[in-house]
Structure 1
Amino acid sequence: MTTKKAVVLLSGGLDSSTVLFRAKALGYACYALSFNYGQRHQQELTSAIAIAAAAGVVQHHVIQFDLRLWGGSALTDQTIDLPCDRDLSTMSQEIPVTYVPARNTIFLSFALAYAEAIHAQSVHIGVNALDYSGYPDCRPDYIAAMAEVYRLGTKQGREGNPIEIICPLIDLHKTDIIRLGNEYGVPWEKTWSCYSDGGTHEPARACGRCDACRLRLAAFAALGLTDPLPYTPTHPA
């Protein structure tokens, strides 16, 4: 039997790492794809490389382009402050400045090209519509629309065998994702969720104050677990 191939979008964060280890456990031959797009949190690429190695992927490509050219996000424009110390209960009420315009459309386009070139059956992405702002490119209706692009925009799709977009985390809370990652043995200490660059410390330390850190810390705490990622000593409890 031929092993199924999967392209996995891997940021190095908690969600994408869980998706990769899940795909591996389900028997896919995994081809990881990461992006250096000029994001301020470059540390996530170090984590992506470590996670890809830990999962034993077949290939791992890091694609480089620079979204700092036009900015539009706190992650690509250093003049925009990162949101910090926000109330978790209000995060879902608006799309924050950390939204990067059309980022997942760009990522999924690269993934589609890669998947069709290697004859993969699916693209796996760790989008999640709960616990945060519901980024416009993380919602079910967006994924459904991109699935139609995958069908219409490729030879493989027009021939009746479209590449599937698999989003196993889209309806899960962060606590559920951590539980799932624990089942698959995700090495959380190798992941990176923080929107900051980790500073000059070795190992890098997450800030503990940005939205991504606060959601991650809250989820581990809700499960009675300690996040193994090192944080700055001054981050709020």
Structure 2
Amino acid sequence: MKNEKAVVVFSGGQDSTTCLFWALEQFQEVLAVTFDYGQRHAQEIDHAKRIAETLGVTLQVLDLGLINQLSANALTRDSITVTGQTDGLPSTFVPGRNLLFLSFAAIYADAFGARHLVTGVSETDFSGYPDCRDTFIRSLNVTLNLAMDKQFIIHTPLMWLDKAGVWELSDELGALKFVQTETLTCYNGVAASGCGTCPACVLRNDGLAKYLGEKAGDES
């Protein structure tokens, strides 16, 4: 794959930044695409731009404000409280988001002659989002290929990793410290370790503590 191009669906968070580092090792040329869909904190886009510039990756920001028009959820409405998964979907679930993101990423990739798409979805720590499951990704891969008469390959390096595993992968890629300090995962828009209390921060920070504990045990 070293002589091929890839497009990374990129948000500037822990998962997509780890995927960006992964893609830079796997492919000759890497492009990134970020989506402005009216998310509650614009810092996400700012972080994506800064990280892409630091790593020398071309970043395209696409306007998908229609998601905000169509869907009311905690990521697009300040008035909706951020809650984790209980009996149903978490309030942060944005219906159709990954479907649209990957579809537009494929269109963007096609314009640049890239056939590889990279996304940071995970079925292991998927927070109850149905569009992070492996079955959805494989189904969409087939659909995109049929719809565009192409042979795209959707890569999901994190699909079977829990958050500790994602931290381990970033460490293997030489990016642990960078991901720790430069990314934004927090639902409240706080960079690095975040607010510490929202579901995204709890998942991220618990995973880091688990990985560092396991690493210290292996080294002792």
Shorter-chain TM-score range: 0.7 to 0.9
Change (3 A) 1:27 1:205: closer
Percent identical: 38
Query: In structure 1, how many angstroms separate the alpha carbons of the residues matched to 2:75 and 2:202?
Result: 17
Q: SS of the residue aligned with 2:142?
A: helix
2:99 aligned with 1:105, yes or no? yes
**Conserved? CA contact 2:165–2:211, under 8 Å:** no
Match of 1:221 among 174, 184, 209: 209
Unaligned 5+ segments in structure 2 are 214-220
- Equivalent runs, 1:110-149 vs 2, <5 Å: 110-149=104-143
Shift of 1:173: 0.7
TM-score (normalised: structure 1) = 0.82
Aligned AA (2:201): C
2:167 aligned with 1:190, yes or no? no
2:162 aligned with 1:173, yes or no? yes
Query: In structure 1, how many angstroms separate the alpha carbons of the residues matched to 2:114 and 2:4?
Result: 7
Q: Who is 1:210 aligned against?
A: 198
**Conserved? CA contact 1:174–1:215, under 8 Å:** yes
2:67 aligned with 1:79, yes or no? no
- Greater per-residue helix proportion: 2
**Conserved? CA contact 1:193–1:213, under 8 Å:** yes
Query: In structure 2, how many angstroms separate the alpha carbons of the residues matched to 1:95 and 1:6?
Result: 31
Query: In structure 2, how many angstroms separate the alpha carbons of the residues matched to 1:27 and 1:7?
Result: 10
Query: In structure 1, how many angstroms separate the alpha carbons of the residues matched to 2:86 and 2:204?
Result: 15
RMSD: 2.1
Q: Who is 2:48 aligned against?
A: 48
Alignment size in residue pairs: 209
Shift of 1:70: 2.9
Q: SS of the residue aligned with 1:196?
A: coil
Aligned AA (1:74): A
Shift of 1:68: 2.4
Query: In structure 1, how many angstroms separate the alpha carbons of the residues matched to 2:145 and 2:69?
Result: 31
Query: In structure 2, how many angstroms separate the alpha carbons of the residues matched to 1:204 and 1:23?
Result: 22
Divergent runs of 4+, >6 A: none
